[in-house]
């Protein structure tokens, strides 16, 4: 991973690290399944709404918070197909948005390529965040369905003290560790505008 990419990250008290290609794929699958189920077209996921929901699930409470979103993607993927905004370089990287209840969200995107795999990049950013004293809360969305990244993260977090609140998000409950777990699908459904009463009868 290019050191300049991590140097551009403005570390905040709250840091979200996500495999952007993975969450984009999950959104696609949710959209296909729920459009069939509830019988209506589902728009692209709202990136800011998703960020707010993930932050709440990760333990951020209302106030003037700063939340840093780090989206890591394959260098061949120039944009997300199922989110809005979607273009990594033009619409996401270096941008920010304000939520009236939670505070300011800043976004950085990192392209993983031939020199560093996406899993390695996610682990590198996580380790950097763990070392930063100003970072108090970390939310991580790896692709827990493939490869060994989840197991590696679980091992990495084994020796971390309780000063940092760490939450790992996955689509189903995973083998536990020295961290909290939350289900990823709830925040994505909210970002897609899917209401609980639309699916409660299924």
Is residue 202 situated within a structural domain?
no
On the CB side of 134, CA atoms within 13 Å amount to: 10
Q: What is the pLDDT of residue 200?
A: 66
Question: Strands, E, within the chain: which ranges?
Answer: 14-19, 45-46, 65-74, 83-84, 96-99, 103-112, 137-141, 165-170, 180-183
Answer yes or no: is pLDDT of 147 > 50: yes
Average of pLDDT values for 89-105? 96
On whether residue 201 sits in a domain, the answer given is no
Please name the residue that has the structure tokens 């309780």: 162
For the stretch 3-41, pLDDT in tens is 445 666 889 999 999 999 999 999 999 999 999 988 899
Mean pLDDT over 189-200 rounds to 86
Residue 120 domain flag: yes
Whether residue 78 lies inside any domain: the answer is: yes
Q: Order of strands, edge to edge, in the sheet holding 65-74?
A: 96-99, 103-112, 65-74, 14-19, 137-141, 165-170, 180-183
- Provide the token pair at 171: 């689509």
Residue 200 included in any domain:
no
Alpha carbon 65 to chain centroid, angstroms:
17
Q: What DSSP letter does each residue of 3-32 carry, written as one string?
A: HHHHHT----SEEEEEEHHHHHHHHHHHHH
Domains identified in the chain, total number: 1
**pLDDT by residue (tens digit) across 40-53?**
999 999 999 999 99
Q: What does the pLDDT read at residue 196?
A: 80
On whether residue 179 sits in a domain, the answer given is yes
In which domain, by residue range, is 187 found?
A: 3-195
**Residue 24 covered by a domain:** yes
**3-state class of 95 per DSSP?**
coil
């Amino acid at each position: 991973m290019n050191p300049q990419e991590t140097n551009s990250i403005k570390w905040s008290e709250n840091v979200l690290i996500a495999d952007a290609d993975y969450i984009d794929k999950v959104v696609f699958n949710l959209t296909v399944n729920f459009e069939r189920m509830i019988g209506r077209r589902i728009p692209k996921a709202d990136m800011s709404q998703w960020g707010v929901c993930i932050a709440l699930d990760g333990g951020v409470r209302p106030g003037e918070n700063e939340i840093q979103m780090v989206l890591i993607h394959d260098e061949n993927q120039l944009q997300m197909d199922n989110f809005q905004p979607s273009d990594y370089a033009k619409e996401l990287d270096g941008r920010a948005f304000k939520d009236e209840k939670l505070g300011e969200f800043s976004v950085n995107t990192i392209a993983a390529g031939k020199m560093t795999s996406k899993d390695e990049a996610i682990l590198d950013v996580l380790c950097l965040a763990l070392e930063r004293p100003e970072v108090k809360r970390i939310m991580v969305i790896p692709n827990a369905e493939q490869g060994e990244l989840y197991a590696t993260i679980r091992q990495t977090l084994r020796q971390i003290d309780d000063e940092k609140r760490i939450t790992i998000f996955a689509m189903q409950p995973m083998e536990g560790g020295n961290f909290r777990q939350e289900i990823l699908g709830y925040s994505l459904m909210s970002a897609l505008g899917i209401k609980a009463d639309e699916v409660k009868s299924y």
